[in-house]
Amino acid sequence: NPASSKYHPVRDACWRAGQAVPYLALARTLELIEATSARLKIVDILSNYLRSVIALTPEDLLPSVYLCLNRLAPAYESLELGIAETYLMKAIGQCTGRTLAQLRGQRADLGAAAQAARLQQRTMFPPPPLTLRKVFAALKEIAHMTGHASVSKKINKIQSLYVACRHSEAKFLIRSLEGKLRIGLAEQSVLQALAAAATRTPPGPAGVTQLDAARGLSAEQFKARVDEAALVLKTTYCECPDLGQLVPALLAHGLAALPAHCRLAPGLPLKPMLAHPTKQLSHIFDRFESEQFTCEWKYDGERAQIHVPGAAELPDYARAAVFSRNQENNTSKYPDILRRLPALLKPSVWSCVLDCEAVAFDTDTKQILPFQVLSTRKRKDASEADIKVQVCVFVFDLLFLNGQSLVHQPLQQRRDALREHFNQVEGQWQFATSRDCSSIEEVQQFMDEAVRGSCEGLMVKALRGPHSRYDIARRSHNWLKLKKDYLDGVGDTVDAVVIGAYHGRGKRAAHFGGFLLACRDAAADEFQSLCKLGTGFSDEQLRSLTARLQQHVIPAPRPYYRFDESHVPDVWVSAALVWELRAADLSLSPAHRAARGLVAPDKGISLRFPRFVRERDDKTPEQATSAQQVAQMYLAQDQVRNSAAPLHDSD
């Protein structure tokens, strides 16, 4: 039982050294985690399981970590599970004799239904028990199957796994296939557990030397060691977000040596640095009191992280890639950017990673065009001959140059290197327009110029000193975003997840006319209703959004949706689409569940007068605005800051 505080990684494991880890060992661990709500305890349970894997079967550590994250490969490979519910029901139904109607009734937790059905079944000749590596390999195989004929192959494969399931294995197998484990295990907790496991049961080149390196340490000393190890692991993972490199290096060289073996390199997309919103010019001066900062135009396009690998001191343009804000590979979307790369790099450059914004551009008038124009470009496999919308790439940061990571250097140095080693080409490659302002009036004037130049506003960044390093994967106070529209309003738009829809009335009766949107509470792993939305759409938009949403309709709300009876929509949809919304302000709401308890004990927060701005298909529902951010945005409003009385919703 990995929940025991006296856990022994060898004696308490349910398999022996050198044996393949039974899938049941992981399923039991996930079951314990599901029944636990305290994060520290969750990390403890997982770390005990991982200690056993390190001590007994280290080659199963990588698939173990991947399965805990419900991933099969690095995020940027886009190898995803998420088999349609109907296929899973068909697979389970055929194996257990349940009808589709019976299974449909239990759809809210198909994993639990699959487990119950499996346990009631007697098998004359039970197949051999599942091993973790076999399940992992099979899931990978299923994810790789494509095309129409693949459906029956997938179902066969799923069935062969399912009939071999024991105890809770079926539940987690089916949930893995659904694409969501639903046990509230976030990536950061998995990394923390791995760091704790490797601290207590350190892997070493000559096998594991110590099963419990914490013996003799006080609780504080042990905690300090784990925190230090977790920092090394998380920082290395930021620079090298590939567990396929990280886990083997951890096993071969130990945790402390990770930074020397896993480094930032072109080809591996980084999670980008993100900004905090601000809505008053004076906040910039509060934040950067005595530090130097710089302002850049904030372009309204699509983030593009451009990677050029190199070998023998020559850039290898054939392997160059463009990644999205979400680490998706957008290379086939931008053949035009790829072709123009040689003009950007001066002869002194043989490898680099650039952080940029790709913006729709009118090459005749030399004008920046709105984001909406960019969004009409083909998303994949574009051929240059068919491209109608031209883009200009505005480069604002240089993260890697000629074999060296620059992320720890101050922005001033990164910017100098950018200007020294790269060319600007009008209408194709431009450096983000910047100015180092020293007064509010100067910032205001630069903001006005940015807006006249068709930009959204400004990005304000620390320029020199330790705060001006590039914080990979962080939403940092060292970058502030200042959008013109929100100087007097909420400060930023909200990216919310659609969880339901209402039928339209009158001339809009043919499609949906309103929607229920939610924010995400990562800690509780739930989607909490944030507002009803019915404005901001053109008829054409409503038609196409309705068509997209129809594919996600589900018969009942997911168990992790939080909403009030008064908002029950006409149809529920699975959390798949993220929409950007603008609002007049945020107010406390007795009915909406967003951030409930964070600001007021029995009230949530809702958006007043929300309007649809755009679809955010570069964000997953997990990356939508969080309940904590909603609470921060509520509290940052002037009306709230300046008065003791909270803002209340009228409903």
Task: Give the residue among 333, 248, 328, 353 at the shortest CA–CA distance from 75.
Answer: 328
Strands (E), 23-121: none
Query: Cβ(527)–Cβ(506) under 8 Å?
Result: no
Between 184 and 272, whose beta carbon lies closer to ligand ATP?
272
Residue partners of 108: CB distance under 8 A and separation at least 6: 556, 557, 558, 559
Of all residues in the shown chain, the one whose CB is closest to ligand ATP is 303
Task: Give the residue among 599, 538, 549 at the shortest CA–CA distance from 571.
Answer: 549
Between 52 and 476, whose beta carbon lies closer to ligand ATP?
476
Output the smallest distance, CB 431 to ligand ATP, in A: 10
Task: Give the residue among 90, 88, 72 at the shortest CA–CA distance from 80.
Answer: 72
Between 95 and 578, whose beta carbon lies closer to ligand ATP?
578
**Which tokens belong to 30?**
């996930």
SS3 string of 576-597?
Answer: CCEEEEECCEEEEECCCCCCCC
Give the span between the Cα atoms of 7 and 131, in whole angstroms: 22
Output the smallest distance, CB 274 to ligand ATP, in A: 5
Output the smallest distance, CB 105 to ligand ATP, in A: 38
Task: Give the residue among 267, 343, 350, 272 at the shortest CA–CA distance from 316.
Answer: 350
Output the smallest distance, CB 325 to ligand ATP, in A: 5
Output the smallest distance, CB 438 to ligand ATP, in A: 19
- Helix and strand numbers (H, E) in the chain are 21, 24
Residue partners of 264: CB distance under 8 A and separation at least 6: 239, 240, 270, 353, 399, 400, 405, 407
**Which tokens belong to 100?**
């589709």
Between 115 and 626, whose beta carbon lies closer to ligand ATP?
626
Between 299 and 515, whose beta carbon lies closer to ligand ATP?
299
Tokens 């200690």 -> residue: 51
Q: Output the CA torsion 267→65→209→245 (10° steps).
A: -10
Give me the sign of the Cα torsion angle 25, 31, 34, 36. Answer: negative
Name the residue type at position 409: Q
Residue partners of 201: CB distance under 8 A and separation at least 6: 9, 51, 54, 55, 208, 210, 211, 212, 213
Give the span between the Cα atoms of 594 and 583, in whole angstroms: 15
Strands (E), 439-511: 457-462, 475-483, 494-503
Between 193 and 406, whose beta carbon lies closer to ligand ATP?
406
Give the span between the Cα atoms of 72 and 176, in whole angstroms: 10
> Which of these is catalytic: 154, 279, 298, 481?
298
Strands (E), 484-525: 494-503, 512-521
Output the smallest distance, CB 296 to ligand ATP, in A: 4
Residues that bind ligand ATP (CB under 6 A): 272, 274-275, 296, 298-299, 303, 325, 357, 396, 432, 459, 481, 495
Between 65 and 633, whose beta carbon lies closer to ligand ATP?
633
Output the smallest distance, CB 277 to ligand ATP, in A: 7
Distances (CA, A) of 347 to 182, 342, 397, 421: 50, 9, 19, 8
Output the smallest distance, CB 397 to ligand ATP, in A: 7
Between 79 and 613, whose beta carbon lies closer to ligand ATP?
613
Between 249 and 432, whose beta carbon lies closer to ligand ATP?
432
| 298 part of the active site | yes
Output the smallest distance, CB 403 to ligand ATP, in A: 25
Output the smallest distance, CB 474 to ligand ATP, in A: 11
Give the span between the Cα atoms of 162 and 115, in whole angstroms: 9
Give the span between the Cα atoms of 619 and 626, in whole angstroms: 13
Longest dimension (CA), the chain: 81
**Which tokens belong to 138?**
């099979």
Distances (CA, A) of 420 to 344, 346, 413: 11, 9, 10
Between 109 and 585, whose beta carbon lies closer to ligand ATP?
585
Strands 293-298 and 457-462: antiparallel
Burial (CB < 10 A; 0-12, 13-18, 19+), residue 451, is middle
Output the smallest distance, CB 298 to ligand ATP, in A: 4
Between 131 and 327, whose beta carbon lies closer to ligand ATP?
327
Residues labelled as active-site residues: 298
